């Protein structure tokens, strides 16, 4: 358990999270084999749970942003497709629909609205659906 705490404290120090002086004191206490104060243990717990929570929130926000962009792109594509339906057959429409969606996605990438990683992820989502 102490080794795990030492690694956690070292990771916090390496990632520059929390009060560096307090973390160094906690690390030294752990390395000496002394008992950690409850307040220090709770401090470490709060730092590590906040870190995990922030990572989860960032990931959820990223997924939410992707879903929103896909929804917007599909809406734009559907609008474009409605205009094209008068002149295209149903078979050509399926292929054309994907191309329209990808064209909008490329435009958003070019305008800096999405990153290249988001582009690739959304493109993969579009092609799989």
**pLDDT for the residue 20:** 92
Q: What one-character DSSP code corresponds to residue 13?
A: H
The domain ranges of the chain are: 61-128
Please answer whether residues 62 and 117 qualify as being in contact, where contact means their C-beta atoms are separated by less than 8 angstroms.
Answer: no
Rounded Cα distance, 50 and 44, in Å: 10
Rounded Cα distance, 57 and 59, in Å: 5
Number of C-beta neighbours around residue 56 at 10 A? 10
**What is the mean predicted confidence (pLDDT) over 63-72?**
81
Digit-coded pLDDT (tens) for 75-95? 777 777 666 655 454 444 456
Digit-coded pLDDT (tens) for 2-50? 788 888 889 888 888 888 999 999 999 989 988 888 888 888 888 877 6
DSSP 25-56: HHHHHHHTTPPPPHHHHHHHHHHHHHHHHHHH
């Amino acid at each position: 358990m102490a080794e795990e705490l030492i690694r956690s404290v070292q990771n916090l120090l390496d990632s520059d999270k929390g009060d560096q002086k307090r973390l160094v004191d906690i690390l030294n206490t752990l390395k000496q084999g002394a008992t950690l104060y409850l307040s220090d243990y709770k401090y470490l717990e709060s730092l590590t749970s906040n870190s995990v929570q922030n990572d989860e929130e960032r990931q959820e926000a990223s997924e939410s942003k992707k879903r929103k962009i896909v929804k917007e792109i599909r809406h734009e594509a559907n609008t474009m497709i409605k205009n094209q339906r008068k002149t295209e057959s149903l078979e050509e429409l399926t292929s054309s629909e994907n191309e329209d969606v990808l064209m909008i996605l490329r435009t958003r990438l070019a305008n800096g609205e999405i990153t290249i990683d988001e582009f690739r992820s959304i493109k993969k989502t579009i092609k799989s659906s």
